[in-house]
Structure 1
């Protein structure tokens, strides 16, 4: 899913490329996680605010996804023979962490929508109790249900844990991504309309325009790979493109997705809205 890590089928040498990309991205993101998430946990005002708690969950989800992606692609590169339970565990972590990235981005968009369009209600509830953390736990639980509903016991498992195991339920994944995308687009349209109505979004307010442009670009890099991978898979299955072309495109898309995880702290955590 953008989840780009769950729809392509690159093997062999491309697994080595994915390993290096995911490992470098994981190292960069780990540095940002230590700084930003420690600050959020340490500061009472931040850890009780939904916006920053969701940033915390987004960074953790991305870190887990890139870390497991590095392990998964490395064992493919080594032609390892993990047990069936180990393979299923890796796939479950990959799909659930990728799903939680999408769910958290959707929750962040809804949070901004409530803050802009319903400010009075938002200010009275955004710091109430521990509900922001409970929301993060809820998204993780939903994300965990997704791979459990897609993965079926493979009685013919041949001790080869490849990307073929990640291809199951592609249509369901696209429906899930499409639903989240529609919600995100709806919230951003409403935010733009409300901002124009209040007069805060104009040519003079360049900071606000840059923020919306940055967030839009960040979301596009997260979401668009999924919509590109799915037609690539269809074209490959209908023999309209060669396997080499599909694998190369999949690696480029995966690299773009990994870079998006690295710049997420800059967009959501280090830069003021």
Structure 2
């Protein structure tokens, strides 16, 4: 059993994947390749939306925030994990650990809030098409984006501050990277307030997004059923299906992480794999889903790539 005495060391030990020496370099190369693909695909979406004037609409402006958020989340975890894999290092400073935990949870909360805002956009576009431009003006769109990021910052900031106020007595992070549950296990004091607030954030973010999805898609379904124009139904189905797939991928990944921490009998190795996967999967699938399924973005990316590869 680990010593319960007060330990204020600034260096923590991570429980990595414990790869055999022969597996470190292949794992590093594969991980680096995956990270490069993630950065490239997400940057393609960002550049396409930024440069193409036709994509300067509320739907795509809100979508612009998603790859920014995904890049932030995957960059908070993968470079450090790859470095540790290559060097066989298992240490991290407490300040860096807290910073990593903040960005991991900031990314998770941001994903939920951005997708909720996008659901509202789809609801207004399909259910109130004549009032769409009046409701989602540039000013209102900026307000929505600011609320998303500021609310996310406040919620996660308070979560981290509640951890920082408590005295640590352990120095081993029981995960491949730092997050709030891992930081909580360093503490020997009463963490009741932290647990209650953590549950509140989870319930608030997941509940808010779920209620928004149920309400908006129910209204969209009714509108599509009453609309007799096949083109309108097809366009609504295409845009909503893309958004719904991204939301399901995120919620499924988040559910696995939550369950992995709630059941102690789950293998620690499985918990580490799921924890890394929940950060990587959305960053991999989101640009692919939006790049392939959204016609305007797909055509813009194809035009960009052809222009870059053309000799003339």
Per the alignment, residue 185 of structure 1 pairs with 214
Whose Rg is larger? 2
Q: Which residue of 1 aligns with 2:297?
A: 270
Is the CA contact (8 Å cut-off) linking 2:49 and 2:64 kept in structure 1?
A: yes
In the alignment, which residue of structure 2 is the partner of 1:197? 226
Task: Write out per-residue CA displacement over residues 92-141 of structure 1, whole angstroms, 9 at most, x where no aligned residue.
Answer: 12211221121111100101101111222212243x34442342232111
CA contact 1:64–1:97 (8 Å) conserved in 2: yes
> For the residues of structure 2 that align with 1:61 and 1:33, how far apart are their CA atoms?
10
Q: Which residue does 1:86 correspond to in 2?
A: 96
Are 2:81 and 1:73 aligned?
Answer: yes
Structure 1 position 248, deviation (Å): 4.9
Return the alpha-carbon distance in structure 1 between the equivalents of residues 215 and 34 of structure 2.
30
Q: Confirm or deny that 1:260 pairs with 2:270.
A: no
Measure, in 2, the Cα distance between the counterparts of 1:142 and 1:246: 28
Distance in 2, matches of 1:218 and 1:192, equals 18
Matched, 1:140 2:149: yes
For 1:192 and 1:149, the matched residues in 2 are separated by 38
How many residues align? The count is 257
1:51 to 45, 59, 64: 59
Equivalent runs, 1:212-251 vs 2, <5 Å: 212-236=240-264, 239=265, 241-248=266-273, 250=275
Gaps (5+ residues) in structure 2? 1-13, 185-194, 300-312
Report Cα offsets for 1:18-69 as digits up to 9, x if no partner: 977775454234323433323433345533x211111111111111111112
Give TM-score scaled by structure 2 length.
Answer: 0.67
Normalised by the length of structure 1, the TM-score is 0.76
Aligned residues of 1:92 and 1:144 also touching (Cα < 8 A):
no
- Mapping of 1:92-107 within 5 angstroms? 92-107=102-117
Look up the SS of the partner of 2:16 in the other structure: coil
Structure 1 residue 35 corresponds to structure 2 residue 44: yes
In the alignment, does 2:180 pair up with 1:166? yes
Give me the whole-angstrom Cα distance separating, in 2, the residues matched to 1:43 and 1:156.
51
1:110–1:187 CA contact under 8 A, matched in 2: yes
The answer to which structure, 1 or 2, has the higher relative contact order (CA under 8 A, 6+ apart) is: 1
For structure 1, list consecutive stretches of 5 or more residues without a partner in the other structure.
1-8
3-state SS, counterpart of residue 230 of structure 1: helix
> 1:112, 1:194 → 2: CA distance?
12
Alignment check: 8 A CA contact 2:100 2:179 kept: no
